[in-house]
Amino acid sequence: MNAKILVVGQGLAGTVLAWEFERAGLPVEIVDAGHRLSASRVGAGIINPVTGRRMVKSWKVDTLLPAARACYRAIEQELQVPLWQELRVRRYFVDDDERQIAERKTASGELAGYVDGIDGDSVWIEQAGRVDAGRLIAVARARWQAAGVLREERADGARQNGDYRLVIDCSGALGDVARQFPFVPWRYSKGECLTVAAAGLTEGVVLNRRHWIVPVGPSRAKLGATHVPAGRDTTLTIEARRELEASAAAMQVPIEAVVAQEAGVRSYLPDKRPVAGRHPLDPRLGVFNGFGAKGSLFAPALARQWVRHLLDGAAFDPEVDVKRWFRPA
């Protein structure tokens, strides 16, 4: 039997998982068909510790955020390319209800350490960050291809191309995971983003009002993302472009030009938790998937769970273990 672990899919999740395996001395191969339709390619890689209309802390952010920051900085140092950026978020209130929620939670200390006061029509959120997922994936891919670690082919055919110790599906919404794990209630969402030319933005500051806009270079920003529940296609739409342009206008950001429009499909679960672990009926098949829009935050710590499981036999967190969805016949 081949002692290597096969990682299927080299989006952000697969990249982080394979990197953690390499760092732990676990032999790994990767198979991936490319990123033309992947959600990792489209997203901005933003980690926002306080999200949603009701301003709640992201799940386990107190432990997940330090793990993510340490992981991306370590990869950045290893690959010798800039990947991680510390950010602040200026969250504009959509209505008075949002203001009242922010005021109440700020006064109670519920968001201590993450909220730095209310400023007129907005609240400032601290300890946000951004990983340049596109650059990370591209640089890691080139390195692994040169080393013969990554094969570029259709991921769903890879399981027949060797007798691996373990195959872990990281293919997001685009691969074969729904057939391999049919008991998991997969959900999907289409998202579109714009890359725009826009002046006047402040480096290191994300503006957010239903959508976000983040500087990504001189006079360049990413604006997104839309959310179409159950959307599985990647057709670019004028409706999404208009929706995002309207959000920029509401944040008083004049767009000089739309440089690019992209679409991707996210996979997620009804409880908004990702899935990791071994198939309950086939322990040589694993999964690392369902990250939704928070893969940048979730992936590093959950990749370490896979490492601890393989090295020490540690159990997965019950809140993410894929077995939480399994009901024996």
pLDDT digits (tens, 9 = 90+) for 264-304: 999 999 999 999 999 999 999 999 999 999 999 999 999 99
Averaged pLDDT for residues 15-35: 93
Residue 123 is assigned to a structural domain of this protein: no
Q: Looking at residue 208, which CATH number applies to its domain?
A: 3.30.9.10
The DSSP bridge partners found for residue 32 are 152
158 pLDDT more than 50: no
Structurally, the chain folds into a number of domains equal to 2
Percentage, residues of the chain above pLDDT 90: 85
- Same domain? For 220 and 179 the reply is no
Residue 301 is assigned to a structural domain of this protein: yes
Contact of 30 with 18, CB cutoff 8 Å: yes
User: Which of these, 5, 28, 42, 323, lies nearest to 174 by C-alpha position?
Assistant: 42
- Same domain? For 195 and 149 the reply is no
Residue 68 is assigned to a structural domain of this protein: no
Domain boundary among 268, 292, 311: 268
Q: Determine the pLDDT at residue 199.
A: 86
Averaged pLDDT for residues 78-98: 96
- Same domain? For 214 and 192 the reply is yes
Q: Which residues contact 309 (CB under 8 A, 6 or more apart)?
A: 277, 315, 316
Spatial distance between the Cα atoms of 302 and 276, rounded to a whole number of angstroms: 7
Residue 99 is assigned to a structural domain of this protein: no
* Residue range of the domain that includes 192: 187-268
Say if pTM beats, i.e. exceeds, 0.85.
yes
160 pLDDT more than 80: no
